[in-house]
Amino acid sequence: MTAKRKTLFVTVLITALAVSIAAGPAAINKARGFYKRLEVLGRMFEIIEMYYVEEVAAEDMFEYAVGGVLEKLDPHSHYYTADEYRNLQERYRGDYFGIGIQFDVFDGVLTVLDALEGGPSQRLDLRPGDQIVRIEGEDAKGLDNEQIFARLRGPKGTRVTVTVRRPALDEEWDVHITRDQVEVSSILVATMLEPDVGYVWLSTFSQKGAAQLEEHLRDFEQRGMRAFILDLRGNRGGLMSQAIRIADKFLSGGKKILVTKGRTANASGENLSTDRDTHPDTPMIVLVDHQSASASEIVAGALQDWDRALVVGQVTFGKALVQNQFPFDDGSALFLTIARYYTPSGRLIQRPYVDGSDEAYFNPDWEAIEGSTDGTVGESKDGAEPIERPMFHTEAGRPVYGGGGIVPDVSIDPTDVSSLAVWLYNRRLTFQFATRYVAENAATLPTDLDAYLDGFIVDDAVVNEFIEFLRWPSLREQLDAAQVPLDEETLDGAREDIRMYLQAHIAGNIWGLQAGRVVLLRYDGQVQQSLGLVQQAADLMKLKPGVVAGF
């Protein structure tokens, strides 16, 4: 066993013994039994390491053992290695030190997707579609993501030289970039969908999420916002503290946001709203889908229970387990479930799980779950246990349901999009074409986004040009390997969706990724139908409180 793991075992033993002595004789006896089991486990590791027919790394054995324990607890308790935990902390923190680009690698070439607003690269005019061909004079072709991060990130104030090729100019030049703190926004899009309707798509709950949201809310209010849409689709959660702060923004003071219940005093408690940075009077819609989970469900559940927001979309994921972080000296950490949380009405929205069946839990039969959203029993296609939803009530007495996710007030399915078009978009082939198109047609394209949205259309000639682009030998080989059909019947069924993605990626190449997302909102059925529900959201806020237990 490695010295590091031996140290960890010894630390656990000493800690257990010290706590037991302080707690009394019964605890000492329990600790002795625990100590003997750890001794057996440690000895077992040594035997496997010495005698097993094939070599097994001690690190692997340790992680197998930890994984075996945690998979018997619940789907969300997890052990993170030092590297994984460091990356997770960076994501939750919402910033890093580097040059401030989003990138992808096309045919081995590091390509800029966006220069982050206010970052070092944007200040030096790097643009979407620019290719970084050398880093500190060394060829950058073929580097993987980890190698790119290692070369481009570094301490604040240090400098890195990159050689940039811009397809429109067909020339290369060196750019000397001083690394700086780069803020990664939790917000994918912030825009006014209509002159009086603000919209924010929040992608995660990082440490800066509430503050970033507040900036946009104040800006919208200055521009005449009379209704607000908070889009939590695809948002799998993050920091519970940020979910509480964001829900707090839309509730007047003294209202329950959530209740946690665990085995220890620290794990149990009640969180109430304050009057800090509050926007309690604007009619509001919260958009959710099957991937809205955890912190997203805290926000949606609290605002629904107080009749504060109209929840629209699909039933949410159903995660109501609270994890605490337990870091170790080697940089790794244990995320352990310490409590369940309940919405203000008393709902537990945790979906049922069975230990050892993560596949069924993370990829459930959504058709069956959607079929049980009115409190009835949903029958699953594979004969699994049905879902029964206990009924609760909002402050005004409207029925809401527990048992698995937040059930929306208004159900709207996502817009159907051709699977071929989605594949081409996700593989950035529409982006690569858009980069070439913008380089060749810059003089004829609108000079600002509003003019582009109002007047520019990707016509049939451009779609046809893209289809010919897909038939280039270098790309055709990639498409054939993935068994992507390019027959006329399939292409005809995908043309309108291809047009949509080209429209988005051309805008993204000129004004950045957020501009491309703004284009897609115009084709998003859930968003567009939500605009027609603003009056219903306003009427919801006029409901008078009912006589309901828990409120």
CA atoms 211, 212, 215, 219: torsion sign: negative
State how beta strands 227-231 and 284-288 pair.
parallel
Rounded distance, CA 37 to CA 50, Å? 20
Strand partners, 202: 187
Structure tokens at 115: 């220069």
One-letter identity of residue 539? D
Asked if 228 contacts 283 with a C-beta cutoff of 8 angstroms, the reply is yes
Rounded distance, CA 195 to CA 189, Å? 16
Q: What residues are annotated to the active site?
A: 294, 305, 319
* 285 torsion bin: left (phi>0), alpha (psi -120 to 50), beta (else): beta
One-letter identity of residue 247? A
Give CA 496 to chain center in angstroms.
Answer: 28
DSSP 444: G
Rounded distance, CA 81 to CA 59, Å? 10
DSSP 442: G
Strand partners, 279: none
Residues whose CB falls within 8 Å of the CB of residue 109, separated by 6 or more in sequence, listed in order: 131, 133, 140, 141
Nearest 10 degrees: Cα torsion 56, 60, 63, 69: -20
Residues whose CB falls within 8 Å of the CB of residue 81, separated by 6 or more in sequence, listed in order: 63, 332
List b or e across 322-341, with b for residues whose CB sees 16 or more CB atoms inside 10 angstroms.
bbeeeebeeebbbbbbbbbb
Helix axes 473-481, 460-470, angle to 10 degrees: 80
Rounded distance, CA 63 to CA 483, Å? 37
Question: What are the two backbone dihedrals, phi and then psi, of residue 344, each rounded to the nearest 5 degrees?
Answer: -55, -30
First and final CA of the chain: distance in angstroms?
A: 56
What CA–CA distances, in Å, run from 476 to 23, 311, 472, 473, 482? 70, 44, 6, 5, 10
Asked if 38 contacts 9 with a C-beta cutoff of 8 angstroms, the reply is yes
Helix axes 488-511, 513-521, angle to 10 degrees: 130
Among 189, 190, 198, 250, which Cα is nearest to 223's?
198
DSSP 524: -
Asked if 404 contacts 370 with a C-beta cutoff of 8 angstroms, the reply is no
Q: What are the start-end ranges of the H helices in 78-125?
A: 82-93, 120-123
